[in-house]
Amino acid sequence: MNLAFLALCILWLALIAYAVLGGADFGAGIWDLFAVGARRRYQRQLINQAIGPVWEANHVWLIFLIVGLFTVFPSAFASLSIALFIPLTIALLGIVLRGAAFIFRTYELDASSRSAEVWSRIFSTTSLITPFFLGASAAAVASGQLAASNGTATTDLGAVWFSPFAITIGLMAVALCATLAAVYLTEEANSYNEPDLANVYRTRALIAGAITAVLGALGLLQSPFAAPQLWNGMVTRVLPLVVVIITMLIGLTTAVLLYRRRYGLARVVIILEVAFLLGSWGLSQYPYLIPPRVTIANSANDPSMILALLISIAIGMAILLPSLYYLFSIFKLPYPVPGKTAESEALPSETSGQGPGV
Amino acid sequence: MSNLLAARAQMGTSLAFHIIFSALGVGLPLLLCIAEGLALKYKDPNWMLLTRRWAKAAAILFAIGAVSGTILSFELGLLWPTYTKFAGAVVGLPFALEGFAFFIEAIFLGLYLYGWDRLSPRAHWLCSFPIWISGLASAWFIVSANSWMNTPAGFIIKNGKVTNINPLQAMFNPATPYETIHMMLSCYVATGFAVAAVYAFSMLRGKRTDYHWKALRLAMAVGAIAIPLQIISGDANARFLATAQPYKLAAMEGVFHTASGVPLSIGGWADPNSGKVYYAIEIPYGLSILAKGDPHATIKGLDAYPREDWPIVEATHLSFDGMVGAGFFALLIGLLFWFFAWRKKRAWQEHRWMLIGILLAGPLSFLAIELGWMVTEFGRQPWVIVGFLRTANAVTTAPSLNISFSVFSLVYILLAFALVRLLLRLARSPFPPIKLPWSSTPYQAEIATGTATERAGIE
């Protein structure tokens, strides 16, 4: 039980990592859709530059989450796979098309060609669709209405994952991804000495953040009847309630920081915001994995397996985290590390559609 | 189409697609590492050009490998929830470890592909090591899980429940050393011969520069070192199957009746209804010698097993013979090429027929991977976890899987089409100037890539 809880906490951290890293990649794709006007190619270049080196690594958090879930909670994983077959399949198609379209457009020889344009459209559309269905799936789990009365999972045809509550949360996930990406892109544009571009994304981050907050409030208002168990878990216990309130305060702080153009700090705070948001979901739902029946205790795998996994995670992380730090220090952080050469200050030329390392 | 058939078709298509990219994902980083190392050591612009070219191709191939691999990790649950419930409980560990290996690979790939200007030359080259090492580790972990499906270990069933789980025993199950080594070697064989085939094609079209010659020789070296080892490993696999999974060996070789002094049937159609192999070339005592080292040894035939437990004999036998045929062809090509090198007959190495042979060995090596994978999958049927879970009982209850199958098939066709188009255009594109670490001026290669008309079209 304690081992399973520990493993769940690690999985939850992986979920947060996927949300703040992979979520921002989705968001960048969403902004790609809005890249219009004379500076469109320039905006796209910034997006390519920002997510190119890291998107594959960011994406692996999802894989980690899946294999972790099915190793620690095999029966819960099986139930979710059956119940959420449709939204997860759609999200999967989105993930696949998005990754492929991104790489195809990056390596298209002529960035202005028609096929590059088509790939860009696919990339941005799927970036919009995927977080929606992932968010709706999460809402379906939280609503506590997935499991059939006899306990065996059946495929939900939309009554749960396409309910008003799930739609609200799905849209909120989209808005949150857009906010994340916009906040990162302000800082990214700033690092290339592009204050105008940073301003564009600052405005967008504020708008998307406001939409996220409104949708979040709508979701919260629906919770008492759409996700009663979650609601009760939240309002009757101190810790979840405190975390929810902190989440709201952090959201406001992000807006203030953006408004005052403290982009670097805003980037840190928006990450905290996502962590607290997902944390409040987890705490409110505790000890249920899939309310109202599947708990941590009744779906946890054999302790020997969980222990083996935890040990491997410890060893794996000892290699992984320094590597990840190295990756981000080379491309995203201003600090010197061994092997790093002087930074290139300007965005690559607008006409280069050949991708990196030509 | 029944749900079971649709699920199997979707899983099969997904694996057949992904396995190409995973093999290249294991093989190409080694080529990159060697080529870049040689470039830095000898300050040779051609090696550097090759590294750059291959890195670009690798970026595209790896991305497709990453997304097609994601499909698989989802599909395990979406299509086979009962399997995942069972397998996750016992053999989740290698899946999780594979996740870590993939993670390391993705991190250093990002550094490698985007770090040409941001990393020192030496640091850049060093970044290629974690890529090929973790690629190899990924292959090992994933195939150990497949081995477990063939020879399940590390648990017991008590009152219908899986208990006494030993994760390490599950990962190091009896088939693991045989299957994993065979798969890892196959990646180097296929990548080596496939890359060699690309440059053999260029040379056949008259582009016989130092650049092409270096690429051809490096790729042929990797392929030719791996292929004899692969054939030894294949032989070890067959001997292992003779005792661990005799029904699989029987299906591979088309042995229907248990007997001593069994001949080796090459090719032909193994018909499970009549229990005969039609149109095969028979080598007397061949199988007994190969599998047991004794011409009179007894080989278990499929008649030792109930009919409902037989693998898909026709497909297993044909796939197996196809794989072996392709493998021996690659061996022959590799031996000839380096025999000519040893006799210092470069003209023969570059001879038209030699190059045509290499051109054929490339796609045939990939065919061998596909067929080898089919041998292990068809040969394991009707089980998904041998002796414990039948494929038919593992499939999801979700409705309308044929829609899902059709959509995913369309996606694969789209991806394959776009990928081939992009790679061909990449191969024909002129070399842009590159920065050489040992020189301050950009280097412009004067190597013709496309034909004169194609170049005119691009410029």
Beta strands in B209-309 (DSSP E): 259-260, 264-266, 269-271, 276-278, 281-283, 298-299
A309 neighbourhood in chain B, CB within 8 Å: 92-93, 96, 167
Q: Do B108 and A338 touch (CB under 8 A)?
A: no
- Nearest chain A residue (CA) to B130: A323
Residues of chain A with pLDDT under 50: 345, 349-358
pLDDT in tens, B382-436: 999 998 999 988 898 888 888 999 999 999 999 999 999 989 888 888 887 888 8
Q: When comparing pLDDT for B321 and B450, which is higher?
A: B321
The closest CB to that of A308, out of B168, B399, B407, belongs to B168
Pick A301's closest partner by Cβ from B69, B73, B89.
Answer: B89
pLDDT level of residue B456 (50, 70, 90 thresholds): very low
Measure in Å the smallest separation between the Cα of A99 and chain B Cα atoms: 6
Query: According to the model, what pLDDT value does residue B331 have?
Result: 95
Q: Looking at the domain assignment, is residue A164 inside a domain?
A: yes
% of chain B with per-residue pLDDT over 70: 97
Neighboring chain A residues of B415 at a CB cutoff of 8 Å: 96, 100
Mean pLDDT of B305-320: 90
Residue A343 lies in a domain: no
d(CA B140, CA A41): 43
pLDDT tens track for A31-86: 888 877 667 777 777 787 777 777 777 888 888 899 899 889 988 888 888 889 99
pLDDT category of residue B452 using cuts at 50, 70 and 90: very low
The reply to whether A104 touches chain B by the CB within 8 Å rule is yes
User: Per the structure, how many domains does chain A have?
Assistant: 1
| C-beta atoms of B404 and A89 within 8 A | yes
Pairing of strands B281-283, B383-385: unpaired
A76 phi and psi angles, rounded to 5 deg: -65, -40
A210, part of any domain: yes
Half-sphere exposure of B369 (CA within 13 A, CB side): 27
Q: Do A330 and B119 touch (CB under 8 A)?
A: yes
CB contact under 8 A, B113 and A344: no
Distance from CA of B371 to the nearest CA of A (A): 26
Q: Which of A57, A96, A58 is nearest to B419 (CA)?
A: A96
**Cβ-Cβ contacts under 8 Å for A41 (sequence gap 6 or more):** A111, A112, A350
Give the contacts of A308 (CB within 8 A, at least 6 positions apart). Answer: B93, B167, B168
Higher-confidence position of B198 and B261: B198
Contact state of A99 with B63 under an 8 Å Cβ cutoff:
yes
Gap between the terminal Cα atoms of chain B: 51
Interface A–B counts its CB contacts (< 8 A) at: 241
Question: Among B110, B116, B419, whose Cβ lies nearest the Cβ of A54?
Answer: B110
Q: Which of A96, A119, A304 sits opposite B165 (nearest CB)?
A: A304
Query: Could you say which residues from 56 to 95 on chain A have a Cβ atom under 8 Å away from some Cβ of chain B?
Result: 56-57, 59-60, 62-64, 66-68, 70-72, 74-75, 77-82, 85-86, 88-89, 92-93, 95
Q: What is the model's pLDDT at position A110?
A: 67
CA distance A19 to A180: 9
pLDDT of residue B447: 67
- Alpha-carbon gap: A286 to the closest alpha carbon of chain B (Å): 22
Model pLDDT for residues B362-377, shown as the tens digit of each residue = 999 999 999 999 999 9
Confidence at residue B384, expressed as pLDDT on a 0 to 100 scale: 93
Q: Report the 3 state secondary structure along A210-237.
A: HHHHHHHHHHHHHHHHHCHHHHHHHHCC
Q: Is position A338 within any domain?
A: no
| List of residues 6+ apart from A112 with CB closer than 8 A | A41, A353
B contacts of A64 (beta carbons < 8 Å) = 96, 99-100, 103
Q: What is the mean pLDDT of residues B114-133?
A: 91
Which of left, alpha, beta for B162 (phi over 0: left; psi -120 to 50: alpha)? beta
Residue A307 placed within a domain: yes
Question: Can you tell me the distance from the alpha carbon of B102 to that of A57, in angstroms, rounded to the nearest whole number?
Answer: 9
Peptide bond just before A292 cis, omega within 30 deg = yes
pLDDT, chain B, mean: 89
Residue-level pLDDT at A151: 62
Residue contact A308–B104, C-beta within 8 A: no
Question: A114 lies in a domain?
Answer: yes
A74: closest chain B residue by CA: B85
Q: Is A111 on the interface with B (CB under 8 A)?
A: no
Domain coverage including residue A196: 2-38+45-331
Facing residue for B77 by CB, picked from A78, A119, A308: A78
> Distance from A55 to chain B by nearest Cα, in Å?
8
For the beta carbon of residue B156, count every other beta carbon within 10 angstroms: 10
Using a 10 angstrom Cβ sphere, with 0-12 exposed, 13-18 middle and 19 or more buried, the burial of residue A13 is middle
The string of pLDDT tens digits covering residues B27-62 is 999 999 999 999 999 989 899 999 999 999 998 999
pLDDT number for residue B453: 43
What is the reported pLDDT for A150?
A: 57
To probe the interface with B, which of A82, A86, A89 has the most B CB atoms within 10 Å? A89
| Residue A257 domain flag | yes
Report which residue type is found at A21.
L
Facing residue for B103 by CB, picked from A86, A320, A343: A320
- Min Cα separation B350/chain A (Å): 30
Q: Which residue of A has its CA nearest to B91?
A: A71
pLDDT value of position A145: 82
Residue A336 CB contacts under 8 Å (≥ 6 apart), including other chains: none
Task: Decide if A64 and B103 are in contact by the 8 Å CB cutoff.
Answer: yes
Q: What is the pTM for the complete model shown?
A: 0.89
Note whether B97 contacts A355, CB cutoff 8 Å. Answer: no
* B432 contacts in chain A (CB < 8 Å): 354, 358
- Residue B385 token pair: 């976890």
Yes or no, beta carbons of A155 and B415 under 8 Å apart: no
- Whether A342 maps to a domain, the answer reads no
User: Are the Cβ atoms of A340 and B404 closer than 8 angstroms?
Assistant: no
Residue of A nearest to B101 (CA): A316
ipTM: 0.86
